[in-house]
Chains A and B, each alone.
Chain A
Amino acid sequence: MTTEALARPLGLSAALGRLREGTALPVTVVLGIIVVVWYLGAIWLNAGLVEQRLEQAEKPATAAEFVCTAWSLDRPVLPAPHQVAIEFCDSVFARDVTSPRSLVYHAYVTGSAAFVGFAFGTLLGILLAVGIVSWRALDRSLLPWIIASQTVPILAIAPMIIVVLGNVGLTGLMPKAVISMYLCFFPVTIGMVKGLRSPDPLQLDLMRTYSATPPQVFWKLRWPASVAFLFTSLKVAIAISLVGAIVGELPTGAQEGLGARLLSGSYYGQTVQIWSALFMAALLGMVFVAAIGAVERLTLRRMGGTT
């Protein structure tokens, strides 16, 4: 009996210790702090609006009333988290998925453009990387320009690409996908060049002693060696491609997509709508990155990797 009594608190403290070791508890605490700060911020930022509202009502308000009003305004400066959550749930679950009021629909429009652009961008990025690794002249002349292209605010031309392609008759998904592609290819190229060059000289020498042809060296050594690098860049790429698709929707008065949702929200002062669109975009980004992470784990496991 004594041992049992001793074991229980020990087990508890061990569990607590494990909780403290892991990331779950710290992340929850930090998130909790953020939510609390957010609620306080909502009171502070909305104070002006609330005062106006209460003056109209012309009766002295208690502190509780003041706070409640601050958290339930129609068009607050900063909506309280629960307002955003309610609007989010409402526009995700309560609406018909195909109706333009549904956030799922807008997320689909933006997400599909981002995904198509991501697919083409990845292809382009891999092709460029293979070219750079294979030809020295391409390496010396093209690589500096690819790096320089990253210092150019490419997103700034997004609206122009939309207009230009619209003039040629391309509208809808493709122009946005082109922008996403343009943004995507860079991290893929850089990551793949690194990855294709990652086999060390010993391994390359081994391939030589096998008298392997260049294609064989590529498929049996360089390509497998670069897979881990590829997935790391893919995660960066899909996040940027989503940004590209959203920004592509901004200046052209598009009706559909998360970017259009943000813009119309900012025109009409619908802050709650902006925030819920923002959360949808964040969610979409996380889902994309998580999906690539899952594919990465599957692939690496099948290749007998350690991760």
Chain B
Amino acid sequence: MKTGVLAIALALAGAVASLLLLESMSPTLVFWMLVGAVAVVSWIGLERLACIDKPRWIAALLVPGLFGLLLLYLWQVLTVGFEVPAILLPSPARIGHQLANNLDLEWQDFRQTFLKSVLAGFTLGSGLGFLVAILVDRSPFLQRGLLPLGALVSAIPVVGIAPIMVMWFGFDWQSKAAVIVVMTFFPMLVNTLAGLAAASAIERDLMHSYAAGYGQTLAKLRLPIALPFVFNALKINSTLALIGGIVAEFFGTPVVGMGFRISVEIGRMNVDMVWATIAVAALAGSVFYGILALIERGFTFWHPSYRQERN
């Protein structure tokens, strides 16, 4: 443990020194040796820290966090040191600078794409999928008819319906929400159906022996057992929804929105701004996913995958 912390501290000092050096002089052989040393030493440190099991936050947060820092550092040093043209790959510092300067614009794009289209489409699509699954569940005939189709749809590039939806619902966020509804509907339907079928015969027999009706069995037994499946679908859908919202904007949009920003700034060869928008999208996507994961943890605390961690 001590070696690990020492190595990480050493690497951090080296990294700061090399970044300062880079500001004042052009990179020399010694400089690259310093960078190489930082990479090697931090890797040794990470390897040591990765062996620590307690406390849990070291393995769960600190190691990946430091690794991300290392990647960012290498990205910065390599792009600046080798003078990679910004159009190819701007350095993280430039992206951050661009982001900080355009916070207002990014907020408007975020509101248009995420708060309007993505959230609306995600809620509607997932909700519909869930409700239809509960309805379909009562008819085995429909279920057998819909399940193979649902599996087929997963092989179809659904984003392709974006131009049609833009034609039907206009340029504003409604058309993007419609694309997202269609994209998120089937994963939710298929997963919920699988989840509703997950309750075992013994458990159902128990409910039967309690003289529980359909509604009671659904509420007390089958829905709770289906929850991990439902949350799995929600997590899949969170990514799909963001992708759908952004890609649909390539087909026509009012002059605001992340997809619009990306396609316009590419046309202007303003790559920094594109990367800044992507950084916002990445952050939004990760936070969205994280919130869903937290809610899942709260709802399915009884699931073995969470129980194991505690012991």
When the two chains form their complex, are residues A155 and B247 in contact, meaning their CB atoms are under 8 A apart?
A: yes
A6 to B243, CA, bound (A): 60
Report the minimum CB–CB distance from B128 to chain A (whole Å). 15
Count of CB-CB pairs between chains A and B under 8 Å: 177
Bits for A201-228, please: 1 = Cβ < 8 Å to B, else 0. 0000000000000000000000000000
A107-151 with Cβ < 8 A to chain B: 135-137, 139-145, 148, 150-151
The interface-forming segment of A9-17, A59-67, A85-93, A158-166 is A158-166
Nearest chain A CB to B309's CB is how many angstroms away? Answer: 15
Interface residues of B in 73-95 (CB under 8 A from A): 87-89
Give chain A nearest CB distance to B220 CB in angstroms. Answer: 29
Of the candidates B51, B157, B163, the one having the most CB atoms from chain A within 10 angstroms of its own CB is B157
B207 contacts the other chain (CB 8 A) = no
Q: Which residues of A are found within 8 Å of B63, using beta-carbon distances? A: 137, 140-141
Give every chain A residue within 8 A of B288 (Cβ-Cβ).
151
- In contact, B247 and A29 (Cβ under 8 angstroms): no
A1-52 residues with Cβ-Cβ distance < 8 A to B are 20, 22-23, 25-31, 45
Stretch at the interface among A97-105, A171-179, A189-197, A243-251: A243-251
Choose among A155, A236, A277 the residue that contacts B246 (Cβ–Cβ < 8 A).
Answer: A155
A residues 259-275 near B (Cβ < 8 Å) are 259, 262-263, 265-266, 269, 271, 274-275
Contact across chains for A145 and B64 when beta carbons are under 8 A apart: yes
Q: Decide yes or no whether A278 CB sits under 8 A from chain B.
A: yes
Is the pair B266, A26 in contact by a Cβ cutoff of 8 Å? no
Q: A148 contacts which chain B residues (CB < 8 A)?
A: 286
CA distance A189 to B103 in the complex (A): 35
A239 & B258 in contact (Cβ 8 Å cutoff): no
Q: Known A141-B63, A159-B250, A263-B251; judge A153-B242 contact (CB<8 A).
A: yes
A140 with B155: CB separation less than 8 A? no
Q: Of A141, A143, A281, which is within 8 A of B160 by CB? A: A281
Q: Are A266 and B163 in contact (CB under 8 A)?
A: yes
Question: Distance (Å) between the CB of A67 and the closest chain B CB?
Answer: 20
Question: Which A residues lie within 8 Å of B262 (CB)?
Answer: 156-157, 159-160
Q: Report the bound CA distance from A278 to B153 in whole Å.
A: 12
- A27–B64 contact, CB under 8 A? no
State the Cβ distance, B159 to closest chain A Cβ, in Å. Answer: 6
Q: With A251-B250, A269-B167, A271-B167 given, is the CB distance from A156 to B156 under 8 Å?
A: no
Of the residues B68, B155, B167, B263, contact of A145 by C-beta under 8 Å:
B68
| Bound complex: CA A137 to CA B47 (Å) | 5
Of residues A20, A25, A142, A247, which shows the largest number of chain B Cβ atoms within 10 Å of its Cβ? A247
CB distance from B183 to the nearest CB of A (A): 10
Q: Is B55 an interface residue (CB 8 A)?
A: no
Contact A30/B149 with A152-B286, A155-B247, A164-B87 known, Cβ cut-off 8 Å: yes
Asked if B252 is at the interface of the complex by the 8 Å CB criterion, the answer is: yes
Interface bin, chain B: 35 or more
Residues of B56-74 contacting chain A, CB below 8 A: 59-60, 63-64, 66-68, 71
B304 at the interface (CB under 8 A from A): no
**Chain A residues with Cβ under 8 A from B156's Cβ?**
239, 281-282, 285-286
Closest to A278 in B: B160
B259 at the interface (CB under 8 A from A): yes
Asked if residues B250 and A250 are in contact (CB atoms below 8 Å), the reply is: yes
Shortest beta-carbon distance from B73 to chain A in Å: 14
Is there a chain A Cβ closer than 8 Å to B213's Cβ?
Answer: no
Residue of A nearest to B143 (CB): A26
Give which listed residue, B50, B141, B163, B277, contacts A141 with CB less than 8 A.
B50
Known contacts: A77-B167, A140-B59, A251-B263. The answer to whether A156 contacts B145 by CB under 8 A is no
Q: Contacts A137-B43, A156-B247, A266-B163; is A30 near B142 (CB within 8 Å)?
A: yes
Within 8 Å of chain B (Cβ to Cβ): is A229? no
Hey, which chain A residues are within 8 Å of B247, CB to CB? Answer: 155-156, 247, 250
Task: State the B residues within 8 Å of A (CB).
Answer: 43, 46-47, 49-51, 59-60, 63-64, 66-68, 71, 87-89, 141-149, 152, 154-157, 159-164, 166-168, 238-239, 242-243, 246-247, 250-252, 258-259, 262-263, 266, 269, 271, 274-275, 277-278, 281-282, 285-286, 288-289
**What are 6 inter-chain pairs, A to B, with CB distance below 8 A?**
A23-B147, A26-B146, A156-B277, A239-B154, A263-B163, A277-B160
